[in-house]
Amino acid sequence: MSGPKVLRISVTDRCDLRCVYCMPESGVTLVPMDDMLTYEEIALVARGAMAAGVRRFRLTGGEPLARRGVAELVRLLAGLGPDDLALTTNGLHLAEHAAGLRAAGLRRVTVSLDTLRPERFAAITRRAGLDRILAGIEAARAAGLAPVKVNTVVIRGVNDDEIPDFVRFAARQGLELRFIELMPTSGLTAECKELGAWRPDLFVKGEEVRARIEAAFGPLERLPGEAGVAAMARLGDGTRLGFITPVSEPFCRGCERLRLGPDGRLRICLFDRGGLDLRQALRRDKAGQAEIAAAFRAAFGAKATWERGAIESLSNDMFRIGG
């Protein structure tokens, strides 16, 4: 896998869901608001990133729409002229924000959704709101945020029986659907008592998901040559499906993605537990675009030789870094 340089920007670690594979019911210790980058600081980092070759931005969280005024950040980033500007959301507030985000310059949106059943949604997220998410998807389509994508984390015994339902849903709604393998960093640690520690019996390989889909719907046509982490395929009716397989089929080689946390820490990988403190560089050292660009070039250089190690032994807080 290789592609254009991408910066994923986590604008907040706040989230109004408590998904069992991500966050404990009681919540977590959050980054103090004063320690979060301001929108103006994020825009300055983005300018430095573009000077280092980044052409695509994705806003993540936590839940990015949980941070007030995120459309203003979209406007600032869109004004820089990137090749792509997207947002990943849980969809709870998408219906009320879709039109404003599109007007501010957002191009497309991805909605995280792990079940189509209201009772199961409440069990997985510990909250209500499936109807709001479905309304948000419709609002995004109406606003011209295209294509609308849906990400589904597949967990054996939790939602893997809905794989055919999701395929039918994507076909009916004209969505692009991506199935994602469960990862240790998804929160399967002692904190998440509902699922416990990382257990192989919860894990469904992307290959198995593909096989189940083909058994139910017929052959999948592979779509080679598309940039991104998802291996794309198409059913006979034209429905586009993606398979993101970081555990069974790692795509690290050639990856050109960096991640900016809400606290301003720049990481070269989801599993990078260190990172570079750009907040300190901005506030204490008064770094400008040139210094930030140099930091990004160094980060991309370090990423070229990055070795994540065995994924089963890794853990990190995805809600702080952006999935």
Residue type, 156: R
Is residue 296 a contact partner of residue 52, using CB atoms and an 8 Å limit?
yes
Mean pLDDT of 16-42: 87
Dump strand ranges (E) for 106-208.
108-112, 148-154, 176-181
Per-residue pLDDT for 285 more than 70? yes
* β partners of residue 89: 111
Dump strand ranges (E) for the chain.
6-10, 56-60, 84-89, 108-112, 148-154, 176-181, 221-222, 231-234, 240-244, 257-260, 265-267, 276-277
- For residue 308, give the 3-state DSSP assignment: coil
Mean pLDDT of 195-200: 55
Long-range contacts made by residues 274-278, C-beta under 8 angstroms, separation at least 24? 278/37, 278/45
Share of the chain above pLDDT 90, in %: 72
Lowest mean pLDDT among 99-103, 153-157, 190-194, 316-320: 190-194
| pLDDT in the model for residue 30 | 87
| pLDDT in the model for residue 26 | 74
| pLDDT in the model for residue 307 | 72
Strands 276-277 and 240-244: unpaired
| pLDDT in the model for residue 182 | 86
Q: Mean pLDDT of all residues in the chain?
A: 89
Cα 135 to the center of its chain, rounded Å: 20
Per-residue pLDDT for 192 more than 50? no
Neighbours of 14 (CB within 10 A): 20
Integer-rounded Cα radius of gyration of the chain: 19
Per-residue pLDDT for 37 more than 80? yes
Which of 57, 117, 116, 93 has the alpha carbon at shortest distance from 322?
57
Mean pLDDT of 8-18: 94
Strands 231-234 and 221-222: antiparallel
Residue bearing the bigger pLDDT, 27 or 17: 17
| CA angle, 5 then 97 then 26, to 5° | 85
- What pLDDT digit, counting tens, does each position of 211-224 carry? 999 999 999 999 98
Per-residue pLDDT for 319 more than 80? no
Exposure string over 280-319, b if 16+ CB within 10 A, otherwise e: ebbeeeebebeebbebbeebbeebeeeeeeebeebbbbbb
| pLDDT in the model for residue 78 | 98
Looking only at Cα atoms, what is the longest distance across the chain?
58
- What pLDDT digit, counting tens, does each position of 251-278 carry? 666 678 999 999 999 999 877 778 899 9
Per-residue pLDDT for 111 more than 60? yes
- Whole-model pTM over 0.85: yes
Q: Can you list the domains of the chain with their CATH numbers?
A: 6-321 (3.20.20.70)
